Structure formats: C-alpha cells, structure tokens
A and B are shown apart, each in its own frame.
Chain A
Amino acid sequence: QVQLVESGGGVVQPGKSLRLSCAASGFSFSSYGMHWVRQAPGKGLEWVATIWYDGSNEYYADSVRGRLTISRDNSKNTLYLQMNNVRGGDTATYYCAGTYDSSGYGWFDPWGQGTLVTVSS
C-alpha cells in the first residue's frame, strides 16, 4: 500500500544540525513532487519546502530558507530534510507529503505519520 515513513526526529540543541528522512513505498515516488510540512505543538500546519520529482527545483518558506534543505534520492525512494542551525521555532512534528504533479503543484496526498523534532538545550 501507499506509505510514507519519516524518521530522524529527536531532541537537538539550538544551533545544531539534524537530518530527517522519509521512505516511500507503494507508489511511483520518482514521479511525484514532494514536500515537508510541519506542525508546532498545538498549532496548525505550516508548509516548509517542496522539491520537484527529479530534484531540479526546490522551494522554501521564508522562515526556513537558508537553514533547511530539501533533497531526494530516487534510487532509494527517500526524501530528506537537512536542518542546520536549528532554533526553538523549529520545534514541531515534521510530515512528508507527496503531490501527483511532478513539480509539486497541487494538493498533498499521501502523507507520512510525522516525526517530532524538539529543539532544546
């Protein structure tokens, strides 16, 4: 069945780095645009970043541009989010999600179950 499984979350100190992964199965990952969406505790959904099916284009929310980097390895059916110089506002559950359109344009489906990142000293 269609599945996205995130991993890599945990507690990280301010200013440090962390890499999240999202393993895809059950659909044609290499043809989907992919996204990261985050949700701070008790808050709403915030789009973070999008990458084209082939990795040729990336887009970021202003709040993360220059610190977070989205990437993908289609040979491994895996999406990544490299988080550098993390700050308290990055504390959230991070979801990966896919869009049928190869550029990532459109609605988000499927979604992973999320991985929690807590920034704390």
Chain B
Amino acid sequence: ETVMTQSPATLSVSPGETVTLSCRASQSVGSNLAWYQQKPGQAPRLLIYSASTRATGIPAHFSGSGSETEFTLTISSLQSEDFAIYYCQQYSNWPPGYTFGQGTKLEIK
C-alpha cells in the first residue's frame, strides 16, 4: 500500500499570506495525485488533479506541483474562505486501493 504523508499537520497563518502544504508518497505515484479541500460539516471538494491541474471553478491562487514522491499545494494570498483541511490522494497504484494523506489543517493565526 502506498502511504501518503502530509506535513505539517496544522499550519497557522494570516490572511494574505502564501502557504505551501507538503504531501509525500512512500513510493512513486508519478503525477497521479489529487488535492481536496474540506470545510467543517462539508464534503471534500476537488481542487487539483494530475498533480498540477486545477479542477473546474477552482481559483488561480491555488496551484499544485511535484511528481513521483514529493508534492506541494501552494495557496497564494490566503482568503478567509481558504481556511480548511486539505488532503492529498494518490490514484497511481490502483488497484488495489486509493490512499489519502492524513490532512493538513490550515487555521487562522
């Protein structure tokens, strides 16, 4: 099973700042990685797929990069609505299964 490790677990930042969230895979997943945003009481929402492609309707201040085992999600000029939990997910080593990272919580400083 491919283990996805996200860091940090929690990030305290101020609106307007730029942040970088990290996701590491235990083995290569190529570019087969997605990022999701989840706000309290809501379902996850797809942000990025294929490591760097923004999903439909996702603002340009979200960007993804990386390949193989190291990936990042960068959020520029943080807005109040961006404070949420972010998950990465690999879909490379399939089947047998998909795996998610444990999440990074972005909170207001």
Contact = CB atoms under 8 A, between A and B. Distances in A.
Tell me the interface secondary structure of chain B in the complex.
loop
B97 A45 contact: no
Contacts of B102: 44
B43 A113 contact: yes
Interface in B38-96: 38, 42-46, 49-50, 55, 87, 89, 91, 94-96
A45 B43 contact: no
A111 B91 CA distance: 16
A96 B107 CA distance: 27
B101 interface: yes
Interface of B: 34, 36, 38, 42-46, 49-50, 55, 87, 89, 91, 94-103
B97 A61 contact: yes
